[in-house]
């Protein structure tokens, strides 16, 4: 049984992760702007706007099992590419929609495309789980990177143009994602696994995963509820505009794009069940703290605590399910996982609305905290029932200790690489300045001076840009130092 050439496999993984970044970002932008687009451009009622989102969620949930079966029988890369093209088609339909009917068709296409795309991508990534236990951490990081790397420019573009141009840009991003998946695809024939799970039916997969799926539904119910409660509270309790709400969530989104692979090292040392327990407690602490947060600045900082918890929980859930079902049933197992997350999100959204309307803000947060805290016991127990190892192998660790004893020195950065990195950082900073210009009244470049920091909430954007200015100055000085060192190397 010949293994694929390692370089080709790694290239395939890299292309899949890049595609996940683009499509995840596009999907999150659609979810963010669709209710606004429905009201501002199409003139739909709040009920009709909600129906568009419900249609997307319903079809995505209903098609997950079918997607899992197809992904296990056919070329996963082709299915993922077709799913990405489906997203592109949906964006095109949104861009040309003039009423409810075509927007509903676009919503259904979005849900169907997402069902096949994400099951296929997770299955592709799961193929390397035995060689690299950190692959799902990389995938979560890639998805969350898309959540802000695509969302932020889309918001800036929306402030300067219109919704239809934004949808057109998202369509191009999805076409690029499809192109990344297909070229350079190695000819990988997935051998029939020899593990005990290789003869499971779809129902058998569901039965095997039942404890974990129930735990996922429970935790996602509470997390979806707390997310929607937070959104409602920021809008109604603090009176923030939509773009201001988005930037309260931004620090946590950036944290989730960075932390998963680092936290995986903790999982390797401490164990899956222990990390899940601690992460659930951290998330419950966030829900409790949210009940008493005095202003949006505190909430933005506390949201990072929740991001840390979910940077550990989400890759762990996917990894243990993939490991439990084996290579033969990655599609089925991960489709059931995604169906469980959607079911939890649906129940949590309904519960959040009821809690917010019938109770107080503090009670709603404490109820969610209690449910999340219960997950600190239920989720680790569910992992134990799956029979998977509590301590995964180190990320990308070769089996032979002798091979590890031959470290490969990291080549120093070239001057061209240093300059390219600095330009990239400056461009990101420029995007931040454009965002500041779009959301801060009477914005001027003199506001960026880091001499005096304002901590008043109305000027939080100025405060953030001043901190970013300091970071860019440090980056510039360090890059200059590295460039001089590179220039003096023989």
Question: Would you say residue 464 lies in a domain?
Answer: yes
Instruction: Please say if the pLDDT value at position 412 is more than 90.
Output: no
Same domain, 334 and 383: yes
Instruction: Tally the domains of the chain.
Output: 3
Q: What is the mean pLDDT of residues 178-202?
A: 57
Question: Would you say residue 197 lies in a domain?
Answer: no
Same domain, 29 and 81: yes
**Cα 304 to Cα 1, 159, 389, distances in angstroms:** 45, 27, 29
pTM flag (> 0.75): no
Same domain, 179 and 223: no
**Cα 322 to Cα 18, 43, 195, 315, distances in angstroms:** 21, 44, 13, 11
Q: What is the pLDDT of residue 409?
A: 52
Instruction: Please say if the pLDDT value at position 196 is more than 60.
Output: no
Q: What percent of the chain has pLDDT over 70?
A: 83
Question: Would you say residue 406 lies in a domain?
Answer: no
Same domain, 77 and 165: yes
State pLDDT tens for residues 15-62: 899 999 999 999 988 887 887 788 778 888 877 877 888 888 889 888
Which of 71, 17, 26, 5 has the alpha carbon at shortest distance from 180? 17
The residues near 102 (Cβ < 8 Å, ≥ 6 apart) are 93, 96
Instruction: Please say if the pLDDT value at position 451 is more than 70.
Output: no
Position with higher pLDDT, 171 vs 38: 171
The band of 463, judged by pLDDT with boundaries at 50, 70 and 90, is: low
Distance CA 46, CA 349 (A): 16
The band of 301, judged by pLDDT with boundaries at 50, 70 and 90, is: confident
Instruction: Please say if the pLDDT value at position 187 is more than 70.
Output: no
Instruction: Please say if the pLDDT value at position 67 is more than 80.
Output: yes
Instruction: Please say if the pLDDT value at position 186 is more than 70.
Output: no
The listed range with the strongest mean pLDDT (145-159, 431-445, 448-462, 475-489) is 145-159
Distance CA 383, CA 392 (A): 13
Q: What is the mean pLDDT of residues 478-488?
A: 74
Distance CA 178, CA 379 (A): 35
Position with higher pLDDT, 21 vs 421: 21
Distance CA 326, CA 228 (A): 35
Position with higher pLDDT, 399 vs 300: 300
Measured on CA atoms in the order 381, 394, 182, 85, is the torsion positive or negative?
A: positive
Distance CA 154, CA 148 (A): 9
- Examine the fold and report which residue of 360, 394, 428 is the final residue of a domain before the chain moves on: 394
Same domain, 425 and 389: no
How high does pLDDT run on average in the chain?
79
The band of 218, judged by pLDDT with boundaries at 50, 70 and 90, is: confident
Place of tokens 């100055």: 473
Q: What is the pLDDT of residue 172?
A: 93
Place of tokens 């249609």: 55
Q: What percent of the chain has pLDDT over 90?
A: 13
The band of 487, judged by pLDDT with boundaries at 50, 70 and 90, is: low
Question: Would you say residue 199 lies in a domain?
Answer: no
State pLDDT tens for residues 96-122: 998 899 999 999 999 999 999 999 999
Distance CA 261, CA 138 (A): 6
State pLDDT tens for residues 334-377: 888 888 888 888 888 777 777 777 767 788 888 888 888 887 77
Same domain, 341 and 268: yes
Q: What is the pLDDT of residue 327?
A: 76
Instruction: Please say if the pLDDT value at position 449 is more than 70.
Output: no
Instruction: Please say if the pLDDT value at position 308 is more than 80.
Output: yes
Question: Would you say residue 14 lies in a domain?
Answer: yes
Q: What is the pLDDT of residue 407?
A: 46
Give the domain CATH number at 78.
1.20.1250.20
The band of 83, judged by pLDDT with boundaries at 50, 70 and 90, is: very high
C-alpha 171, offset from chain centre = 19
| Contact in structure between 129 and 323 (CB atoms under 8 Å) | yes
Question: Would you say residue 400 lies in a domain?
Answer: no
Q: What is the mean pLDDT of residues 222-230?
A: 80
Distance CA 57, CA 89 (A): 17
Residue 434, domain extent: 415-488
**Cα 471 to Cα 71, 450, 468, distances in angstroms:** 44, 10, 5
Question: Would you say residue 136 lies in a domain?
Answer: yes
Same domain, 131 and 73: yes
Rounded-to-10 torsion of CA 277, 283, 285, 289: 180
Question: Would you say residue 196 lies in a domain?
Answer: no
């Amino acid at each position: 049984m010949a293994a694929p050439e390692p370089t080709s496999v790694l290239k395939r993984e890299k292309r899949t992760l890049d595609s996940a970044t683009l499509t995840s970002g596009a999907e999150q932008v659609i979810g963010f702007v669709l209710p606004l687009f429905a009201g501002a451009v199409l003139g739909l009622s709040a009920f009709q706007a909600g129906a568009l989102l419900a249609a997307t969620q319903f079809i995505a949930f209903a098609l997950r099992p079918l997607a899992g079966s197809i992904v296990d029988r056919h070329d996963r890369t082709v299915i993922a590419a077709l799913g990405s093209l489906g997203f592109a088609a949906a964006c095109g339909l949104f861009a040309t929609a003039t009423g409810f009917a075509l927007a509903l068709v676009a919503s259904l296409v979005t849900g169907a495309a997402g069902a096949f795309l994400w099951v296929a991508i997770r299955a592709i990534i799961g193929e390397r789980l035995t060689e690299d236990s950190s692959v799902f951490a990389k995938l979560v990081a890639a998805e969350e990177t898309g959540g802000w790397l695509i969302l932020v420019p889309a918001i800036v573009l929306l402030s300067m143009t219109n919704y239809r141009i934004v949808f057109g840009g998202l369509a191009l991003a999805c076409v690029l994602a499809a192109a990344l998946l297909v070229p350079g695809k190695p000819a990988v024939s997935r051998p029939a696994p020899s593990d005990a799970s290789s003869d499971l039916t779809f129902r058998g997969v569901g039965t095997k995963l039942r404890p974990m799926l129930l735990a996922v539904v429970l935790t996602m119910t509470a997390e979806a509820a707390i997310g929607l409660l937070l959104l409602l509270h920021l809008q109604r309790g603090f009176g923030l505009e939509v773009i201001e709400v988005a930037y309260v969530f931004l620090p946590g989104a950036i944290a989730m794009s960075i932390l998963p692979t680092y936290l995986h090292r903790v999982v390797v040392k401490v164990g899956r069940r222990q990390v899940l327990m601690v992460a659930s407690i951290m998330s419950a602490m966030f829900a409790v703290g949210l009940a008493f947060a005095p202003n949006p600045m505190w909430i933005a900082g506390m949201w990072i605590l929740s991001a840390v918890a979910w940077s550990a929980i989400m890759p762990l859930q996917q990894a243990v399910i993939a490991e439990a079902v084996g290579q033969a049933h990655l599609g089925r197992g991960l489709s059931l996982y995604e169906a469980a997350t959607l079911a939890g999100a649906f129940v949590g959204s309904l519960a959040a609305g009821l809690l917010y309307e019938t109770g107080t803000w503090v009670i709603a947060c404490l109820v969610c905290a209690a449910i999340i805290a219960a997950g600190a016991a239920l989720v680790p127990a569910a992992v134990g029932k799956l029979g998977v190892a509590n301590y995964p192998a180190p990320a990308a660790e070769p089996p032979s200790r002798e091979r590890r004893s031959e470290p490969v020195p990291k080549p120093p950065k070239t001057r061209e690489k240093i300059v390219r990195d600095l330009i990239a950082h400056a461009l990101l900073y420029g995007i931040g300045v454009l965002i500041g210009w779009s959301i801060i009244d009477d914005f001027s470049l003199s506001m960026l001076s880091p001499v005096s920091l304002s901590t008043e909430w109305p000027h939080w954007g100025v405060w953030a840009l001043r901190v970013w200015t300091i970071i860019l100055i440090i980056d510039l000085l360090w890059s200059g130092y590295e460039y001089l060192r590179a220039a003096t190397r023989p």
